[in-house]
Amino acid sequence: MSCGASPRDHHPVRRRRQRLLPSLALPRRLPEFPILIDPPDLSQWRAGNNGIPGVIERESPVPGPEIAVISLIHGNEFAGAAAADRLLREDIRPLCGTLRIVFANMAAFERFDPSNPTASRFIGEDLNRVWSNDRLSQKPGSVEMARAQELLPVIRRSDMLLDLHSMLWDSSPLFISPQTERSITLAGLLSSQADTPFLTLTDLGHVGGARLIEQEGFMAPGGTGRSVLLEAGQHWRPETVETSARVIRHFVENAGFVHWGSRGEPVTVSRQAMVTDNVVARSASFGFTESYLGGQVIEKAGTVIALDGDDEICTPYDQCVLIMPNLCVRRGQLAVRLARRL
C-alpha cells in the first residue's frame, strides 16, 4: 500500500510490471549484524534520583526549560544509552532549567542477547506505539504500557524532548520531527550544527500507534512542547554512540536558546524532507533491485527500486530519498518510506 499526497507531478509508486527486471536475490532471513559495542553498565542509574526508576534529574540554579533525553525506548538500541551513560559520568548539566535523562525500557535491555540481538526490542509490545492519551488511560496490559504510564509525568513536564534511536540496516543518521513548526525549529537547530548535519524528516506517523514524539503536548496546536527523534546510525557501531553523544550535547547546550527564542536570528531548516509514501510489501517475494542504503537519493522519477509480486515499485519524483529500506522485508511489513526534499 502506498499513501500520501499525490501532487500532479507524482509518478505512481506502484504499477503492474512493465518489463522483465531481475530483483536482487536478497536473503529471506536476517543477515548477521556484528555487535561492535558492549551494552553499557547502567546499574548506577537504575534506581533513579527523582522517584522514578531509570530517571536521572539534574538541575541548574538558573531558571529555564525542563528538557528530557530519552534512551532505550527500544531495548536493543543501546548506543544512545551508552552515550547518555558516558555524559552522566562526565557530569553533564543543563545551562538553565532541568535536564532529565531517561533509560526507558530497562527490562527489555537487560534481556539483550548478542546471539539474538533483535529480540530485545521489547518484551510485550513496542514502547514507541503506545503514546496516545487513549492508550495511556487504559489498564496496562504489558510491561511497556506500565512503564509508559510510569514515565508519563516526566514526558508531560518536558518542554523539549530528544528521543534516541538507532537502525538495523546501514543508513545515514537522521532526525524525525512532528509536523509542528516549533519541533521542526528544534530539529533544524540540531541539524545546523557542523558535526550533526543530518536530514530532518517529517512524516505521516506510524499506523501501529502514537510514538513518544507524538505525545499530546508535542502535537497540540497552540501548545509549546517540542520533540525530536534521532536515528543515530546502525544499532551496534561505535560511531552511533559518538553521533548520539554529539546530538545530546547540542540539545542540552541549545535548549535555553530555543526555549527563550533568544538565538538572535531564526534557524533556517535547510536539510528537510517529508515522507510522502509508506511502501508495504504485499507479496512474499518483495525484493529491491539493489541493496540500497538508508538516506540514498534516487535521482530520477520513475526509477524501479523494487519488485513486489506482479508490481514494480517506482520513485514518484526526482531526488527521492529512501528512508530505512528493509532489505529483508516480509509480506505485510513496511519495506521503505519515500521522502521528498523540501
**Interface residues toward Zn ion, by CB under 5 A:** 74, 77, 165
Taking the complex as a whole, the smallest distance from the CB of residue 77 to Zn ion amounts, in Å, to 5
Beta bridge partners of 163: 70, 229
Taking the complex as a whole, the smallest distance from the CB of residue 231 to Zn ion amounts, in Å, to 7
Q: Which residue number, 77 or 203, has a Cβ lying nearer to Zn ion? A: 77
Q: Which residue number, 74 or 246, has a Cβ lying nearer to Zn ion? A: 74
Taking the complex as a whole, the smallest distance from the CB of residue 182 to Zn ion amounts, in Å, to 23
Taking the complex as a whole, the smallest distance from the CB of residue 74 to Zn ion amounts, in Å, to 4
Q: Which residue number, 4 or 80, has a Cβ lying nearer to Zn ion? A: 80
Q: What distance in Å separates the CA atoms of residue 66 and residue 54, rounded to the nearest whole number?
A: 17
Taking the complex as a whole, the smallest distance from the CB of residue 40 to Zn ion amounts, in Å, to 16
User: E strands within 189-266?
Assistant: 199-202, 226-234
Which grid cell sits at 130? Answer: 503506545
DSSP code, position 118: T
Q: Which residue number, 108 or 258, has a Cβ lying nearer to Zn ion? A: 108
Which grid cell sits at 320? Answer: 527521492
Taking the complex as a whole, the smallest distance from the CB of residue 309 to Zn ion amounts, in Å, to 29
Neighbours of 202 (CB within 10 A): 19
**Of the candidates 175, 193, 166, 178, which has an alpha carbon nearest to the alpha carbon of residue 81?**
166
Q: Which residue number, 77 or 144, has a Cβ lying nearer to Zn ion? A: 77
Q: Which residue is nearest to Zn ion (CB)?
A: 165
List strands edge to edge, sheet with 287-288: 14-16, 311-314, 304-308, 287-288
Return the percent helix, strand and coil in the chain, to nearest 5. Answer: 25, 25, 55
Q: Which residue number, 78 or 218, has a Cβ lying nearer to Zn ion? A: 78
Which grid cell sits at 217? Answer: 503536548
Q: What distance in Å separates the CA atoms of residue 333 and residue 50, rounded to the nearest whole number?
A: 39
Residues contacting residue 241 through CB under 8 Å, at least 6 positions apart: 37, 79, 82, 83, 86
Taking the complex as a whole, the smallest distance from the CB of residue 331 to Zn ion amounts, in Å, to 22
Q: Which residue number, 239 or 311, has a Cβ lying nearer to Zn ion? A: 239
Q: Which residue number, 165 or 226, has a Cβ lying nearer to Zn ion? A: 165
User: E strands within 45-197?
Assistant: 55-59, 66-71, 98-103, 160-167, 174-177
**Of the candidates 81, 84, 248, which has an alpha carbon nearest to the alpha carbon of residue 160?**
248
Taking the complex as a whole, the smallest distance from the CB of residue 262 to Zn ion amounts, in Å, to 33
